[in-house]
Each structure stands twice: as C-alpha cells, then as structure tokens.
Chain A
Amino acid sequence: MTLLDHLPILVVIIPLLTAPLCVLVERPRLVWGLALVSAWLSFAAAIALALSVAASGTLTYQLGGWPPPWGIEYRIDTLASFVLMIVTAMAALVMLFAKESVVREIPEQRISRFYAAMMLAFAGLVGIVATGDAFNIFVFLEISSLASYALISMGKDRRALNAAFQYLVMGTIGATFILIGIGFLYMMTGTLNIQDLAMRLPDVADTRTVRAGFAFLTVGIGLKLALFPLHLWLPNAYTYAPSVVTAFLAATATKVAVYVLLRFLLNVFGIDFSLGRMPLEYLLIPLGLVGVLSASLVAIYQVEVKRLLAYSSVAQIGYMVLGIGLATTTGITATILHLFNHALMKGALFIALGAVAYRLGSTGIGDFAGLGRRMPWTMAAIVAGGLSLIGVPPTVGFVSKWYLVQATLERDLWPVALLILLGSILALIYVWKLVEAAWFRHPPAETDVREAPLSMLVPLWALVIANVYFGLDTGISVGLARSAAAALTGGGG
C-alpha cells in the first residue's frame, strides 16, 4: 500500500497526533507552527481525497485491515469528501489567523494546551465526516465536543465559563440521545456499519424500536445542530469564546452536525422512511422557518456584534434544515450548498470580528463607530460577508438562496419562498446596522486604531474572494452538491 491508500485515515490522524505533541512542545510559536502545518497537511490530504473520489468513486478504508462487519470502516463518498474539504480548509485558514489573535487573547502559559484542544476538536470533526461507522460517529462527536467545551471556557469574560457549562450540559444530553438512538438501531439490526444499517433497516422499519431510535437520533443531532428551539447554548458559546474558537466552530461544527443529520436521515434511514413515512417534513419546515425569522429578529436588537452574528448563525441553520425538510433533490442540494457557503461567509465575518477584537479589545456595536476609515480592509470584508449573508447576487449567499427558493417553488410552497425572502430582508437590517456604524458614524476623537495585521487580512480576504468566486463560478460547488444530493436521495434510499 502506498501513502495514497491511507489518505482517509491520514486526514484524521494528523491533527489527532499533533494534539499531544502540542502539549509536549510548550513553546507558543513552535506550537502554532505545528498546528498550522498539521491543519494544512490535513487540508492537502482532503483535496487529494476529493480528487480521487471525483475520479474513481467512493473510497473505503478498513481500520487495522479488519473487513467492515467486524472492523471499523472509513468511507469517503462525494458528500464526505466535500464536507472534509470545507472543514479542513476552514481549519487551515483559521490557523493562519490564530497566530496573532491567540497571543492577544490567551495567557501565554495556556497557549500550548489551547492549540492541543483546537487540534482535538478539529480531529473529532474530521473523524465524524470520514467514518462509516455509527458508533464511531458518537465517539468522534464527543472528542470534538469535549475539546470545544474547554476551548469556549478560555474566553476572557468570566461568562465564557458559564456558556461552556451550559453547552456541556446540552451537548452531553444531545450526544447521549444519539447514543440511545444508535443502541436501538443496533438492537434491531445487529450492526453499526452505516452501509449495513441502511441495508437491514427497511426490513424492520415498522417497529416501535426503530421509530424510537429515529426520534432520539433526530432530537440528539438537533441539539448539536442548534436547531431552533434547541439552539439556546449557541449564542452564549459563540459570544464569549475566544475569537479564534468562534471563527473555527462557526465555520465547521454546525456544518458537521448538518452532515450527520443528512447521513442518518437519508443514508441510514433512507428518504422514504425519514421524510415520507415519518412526519419529519412537518417538523423541519416550520422549525426551520421559525428559526430563520425569530433568530434574525433577535439578531437585529443585539448590541454585541459577536452575539448578533451568533443569532444569524441560528437563522442560517434554519435555512439548511428547511432544505432537508423539502425532501427533494433540489432541496438537499440547497442544504449542502448552504453548508459550504455559510462556512465561507461566517468564517470571513468572524475572522473580521477577531481582527476588530485584536485592535479594540471588544466588539460592541458602539466600538464600530467610524472603523471604516481606521480599518478599511477589515470593514470592507465585513460588508462583503454581510452581502453574502443577505444573499446579494455576486456572492455565494445568493446561489444557495436561489436553489432553496427554487426547491420550495418546485413543491408549490410559495408562502415558504416568501418567508425565505422576508428572512433575507431581516438579514439586510442587521447587516445594515454594522455597515452604518462602521462607515457613516464619526470615530471617537483620539484613537490610534490601525488596520489589522497582514496575517489576519490574508485568511480574511482569501475567504472574501472565495465568497465572490464561488458566487460567480458555481460549477464546482453546485456540481459537487448536486451529485452528493442525488446519491443521498436516490442511492441511499
């Protein structure tokens, strides 16, 4: 076997092994270098995987050489390779941004352990995507969650501790629900492998055990996903976490949860069961819409910009869930696209906020007064990210909204389409609040605020350019999302 055959495991194992190394090394600069190299190596492996999946179809990897029913299998299909690319790319860019921001926000003696926890969270998220084993998903979920509780608690404000504790309680309940659900499925099928589960479940689908397992899994993943009304942990966690952690989690963690939801609903249970025979559609569409509208409304009234964007994240998750609820190939395509696009825009916006926090020390809306003149590049990036959030044409936000509206019209649900547009208008209001403060207000008289350092602007503008590029050239992202959605709705069911 060559190194190439081991790629599915390398993506996971590189960050996993970097974590203990970070603790051993201890020197802040060196640890950052290690984390950076490992994130980029993982990204490179993910690209190689995506190319190989595109060329020769689904890849499987048997851990320790044990064949699937006994051993754990890693399975990379189109959807997995797409999400792997998103997660590793975000980690690689956030690591670039982390250099200065971490030095500013984390006490020096904690930096090495901070990066170790980052790497663990990253490894867990990548593992969830790469694995083809239901129990393995639970284990990786807990690895990434435990690391993120620790990461959130490192925020400067003491409220970060409480936010982390709340997240710990809700996250653990969610993970335990997932564990119960997997247990019920194992009871009925005697297997944990996702392919085997998908094959054996239809025979026993009409039992109460499977239905209960389905319910536990949906609610458990919903908690991890921050699906309205299970989102209560998210705003605090995002607001008080260190900037790097917020940027990383916002761009990756909820995306991976959406991936898990897609996997279980469409791959394991199959679209006929989960969205046909089970009344999930009547749950996901209204909850998605209420999530979009209520979270956007709440976002308008926030004075802390990080919290404003956190609520906007809850709203964006509403769009993704809505796409799943529509239960058509176009709807699922819109969900997968929005998963990618939202990672791009929220990644950019939270990195920009991190740059503001780096220069000003806080991110209240009052602090933004006149920043457009002091930090033009950062603020221009916020405007671009905001436009993408609203869904203005040359950006990626427009592409996914377009597909989502199309999917609703295909099902003749035009009131839903109107409500989606209303959500965009609400987004316009809260983005405008930022723009107005940054560009149309006078800065306080004596400030020596300068533009953010180059090491922050590079990843920030890489994401902004990606926002526009993938908005104009939709071939790659839409193509991948569509083929992944087709595999989920046709092949898996």
Chain B
Amino acid sequence: MSEIPGLFNYWVVVFLMMAGFYVVISQGNLVKKLVGLGLFQASVFILYITMGNLSGGQAPIVSQGVFIYSNPLPHVLILTAIVVGVATTAVGLALVVRIHEAYGTVEEDEIHARDMADDESLFEENRDGEESGR
C-alpha cells in the first residue's frame, strides 16, 4: 500500500467529489445545494492542479540550476475553470435570492408544495375552460 501517500491528492479529490455530489443530491436547502456544487467543482480543480505537478518540480519560472518544472498548462486551465465556478455560484445565488423573494422560502419541498397547490388551481381553470369551450 505504498501507493497511498503518492496518490494522496487523488484520494482527496475522490472524497471531496463524492461528498459534494452527495450534498447536492441529499440536501433540500438550495443554498446548501450550491455549497455542495462548489465542493464538487473544487475537487476537479485539485485534480487538474495535481496532474500538472511533477515530483521535485519547481514553479515554472525559468531560473538557473533548475531543470524540472511543473507543467503550467493545467494550472492555467483551472484558472479559467475557477472563474467559471465563481460565475456559476454567483448566478446560482442570484437565483436563490429571487426564489426567496417569490416563494418566501429556500427549502425545496416547500417550493414543491406551493407549486402543487398552484397546479391544482390551474387544472381546475383548464377544465372549466374546456367545458365552456364545447
């Protein structure tokens, strides 16, 4: 099992990814869902950063006496992905704010209950409409 320390980062990635995914699925609170989503995305950032690192590699700035550099490309890619993640969280939170304004709650089951109540009244209306249409 000597591989475990070498693969430590990957274990962390898998743990964070599954934890985040689980939070997204299991939590009914929309803000908590976004937290889980953030965790899920962060795990992928670590995955990319880890794959760019070489054992013994230095930061990729040319300097004398250094021959092994880390691969900067995955790091740069993840910079873009972090920006995307921030934007996603921002849009998500903005939506939560508007959901709270419209429904007065950010709990998924309460939102569903209110929608169901709306649906029933809509169904009644439609039936009335159809009957008078005939």
Task: Give bound CA distance, A369 to B129, whole Å.
Answer: 9
A20 contacts B by Cβ under 8 Å = no
Q: Are B87 and A146 in contact (CB under 8 A)?
A: yes
Q: Which of B81-107 contact A (CB under 8 A)?
A: 81, 84, 87-88, 91-92, 95-96, 98-99, 102-103
Given contacts A169-B37, A183-B48, A443-B133, is CB(A161)–CB(B99) below 8 Å?
Answer: yes
Q: Are A149 and B123 in contact (CB under 8 A)?
A: no
Q: Are A366 and B133 in contact (CB under 8 A)?
A: yes
Binds A, one of B1-9, B39-47, B61-69: B39-47
Chain A window 440-462, contacts with chain B (Cβ cutoff 8 Å), 1 for yes, 0 for no: 01111000000000000000000
Q: Are A172 and B133 in contact (CB under 8 A)?
A: no
Chain A window 123-151, contacts with chain B (Cβ cutoff 8 Å), 1 for yes, 0 for no: 00000000000010011001000100110
B111 contacts A by Cβ under 8 Å = yes
A417 contacts B by Cβ under 8 Å = no
Determine the chain A residues whose CB is within 8 A of the CB of B95 once the complex forms. 149, 153, 161, 164-165, 168
Q: Are A187 and B111 in contact (CB under 8 A)?
A: no
Task: Give bound CA distance, A303 to B125, whole Å.
Answer: 11
Task: Give bound CA distance, A296 to B65, whole Å.
Answer: 67
Task: Give bound CA distance, A372 to B103, whole Å.
Answer: 37
Given contacts A162-B111, A165-B95, A365-B126, is CB(A176)–CB(B44) below 8 Å?
Answer: yes
Q: Are B133 and A142 in contact (CB under 8 A)?
A: no
Q: Which of B1-58 contact A (CB under 8 A)?
A: 21, 24, 30, 33, 37, 40-41, 44, 47-48, 51
A492 contacts B by Cβ under 8 Å = no
Determine the chain A residues whose CB is within 8 A of the CB of B123 once the complex forms. 303
Q: Which chain B residue lies CB-closest to A303?
A: B126
Determine the chain A residues whose CB is within 8 A of the CB of B88 once the complex forms. 142, 146, 168, 172
Most buried by B among A138, A165, A183, A441: A165
B121 contacts A by Cβ under 8 Å = no
Determine the chain A residues whose CB is within 8 A of the CB of B74 once the complex forms. 183, 186
Task: Give bound CA distance, A135 to B41, whole Å.
Answer: 16
Q: Which chain A residue lies CB-closest to B38?
A: A172
CB proximity of B22 to chain A, nearest CB, Å: 12
Chain A window 303-335, contacts with chain B (Cβ cutoff 8 Å), 1 for yes, 0 for no: 100000000000000000000000000000000
Q: Are A169 and B133 in contact (CB under 8 A)?
A: no
Determine the chain A residues whose CB is within 8 A of the CB of B80 once the complex forms. 135, 139
Q: Are A165 and B30 in contact (CB under 8 A)?
A: yes
Determine the chain B residues whose CB is within 8 A of the CB of A165 once the complex forms. 30, 92, 95-96, 99
CB proximity of A64 to chain B, nearest CB, Å: 15
Task: Give bound CA distance, A384 to B122, whole Å.
Answer: 29
Q: Which of A182-238 contact B (CB under 8 A)?
A: 183, 186-187
Instruction: Tell which of B33, B48, B130 touches A366, judged by Cβ atoms closer than 8 Å.
Output: B130
Task: Give bound CA distance, A81 to B48, whole Å.
Answer: 32
Determine the chain B residues whose CB is within 8 A of the CB of A242 once the complex forms. none
Task: Give bound CA distance, A442 to B133, whole Å.
Answer: 6
Q: Is the interface of A mostly helix, strand, loop or mixed?
A: helix
Determine the chain B residues whose CB is within 8 A of the CB of A369 once the complex forms. 129-130, 133
Determine the chain B residues whose CB is within 8 A of the CB of A180 once the complex forms. 44, 47
A493 contacts B by Cβ under 8 Å = no
Determine the chain B residues whose CB is within 8 A of the CB of A161 once the complex forms. 95, 98-99, 102
Q: Are B40 and A173 in contact (CB under 8 A)?
A: yes
A357 contacts B by Cβ under 8 Å = no
CB proximity of B115 to chain A, nearest CB, Å: 6
A370 contacts B by Cβ under 8 Å = yes
Task: Give bound CA distance, A162 to B133, whole Å.
Answer: 32
Q: Are A162 and B24 in contact (CB under 8 A)?
A: no
Determine the chain B residues whose CB is within 8 A of the CB of A443 once the complex forms. 133
CB proximity of B54 to chain A, nearest CB, Å: 13
CB proximity of A354 to chain B, nearest CB, Å: 20
A159 contacts B by Cβ under 8 Å = yes
Q: Are A364 and B99 in contact (CB under 8 A)?
A: no
Q: Are A168 and B111 in contact (CB under 8 A)?
A: no
Q: Which of A437-493 contact B (CB under 8 A)?
A: 441-444
Task: Give bound CA distance, A443 to B133, whole Å.
Answer: 6
Given contacts A153-B98, A165-B96, is CB(A186)–CB(B51) below 8 Å?
Answer: yes
Given contacts A142-B88, A370-B133, A442-B133, is CB(A169)–CB(B44) below 8 Å?
Answer: no
A89 contacts B by Cβ under 8 Å = no
A100 contacts B by Cβ under 8 Å = no
Q: Which chain A residue lies CB-closest to B131?
A: A366
A420 contacts B by Cβ under 8 Å = no
Q: Are A183 and B91 in contact (CB under 8 A)?
A: no
Q: List 28 A-B contacts (CB under 8 A).
A: A135-B77, A138-B81, A142-B87, A146-B84, A146-B91, A149-B91, A159-B115, A162-B111, A162-B115, A165-B96, A168-B88, A168-B95, A169-B24, A172-B41, A176-B40, A179-B44, A180-B44, A180-B47, A183-B47, A187-B51, A365-B126, A366-B130, A366-B133, A367-B129, A369-B129, A441-B133, A444-B129, A444-B133
- B residues whose Cβ falls under 8 Å from a Cβ of A: 21, 24, 30, 33, 37, 40-41, 44, 47-48, 51, 74, 77, 80-81, 84, 87-88, 91-92, 95-96, 98-99, 102-103, 111, 115, 118, 122-123, 125-127, 129-130, 132-134
Beyond known contacts A149-B95, A165-B99: 15 more, CB 8 A cutoff: A135-B80, A142-B84, A149-B91, A150-B91, A161-B95, A162-B111, A165-B30, A165-B92, A169-B24, A173-B40, A179-B81, A180-B44, A186-B51, A364-B125, A442-B133
- A residues whose Cβ falls under 8 Å from a Cβ of B: 135, 138-139, 142, 146, 149-150, 153, 158-159, 161-162, 164-165, 168-169, 172-173, 175-176, 179-180, 183, 186-187, 303, 364-367, 369-370, 441-444
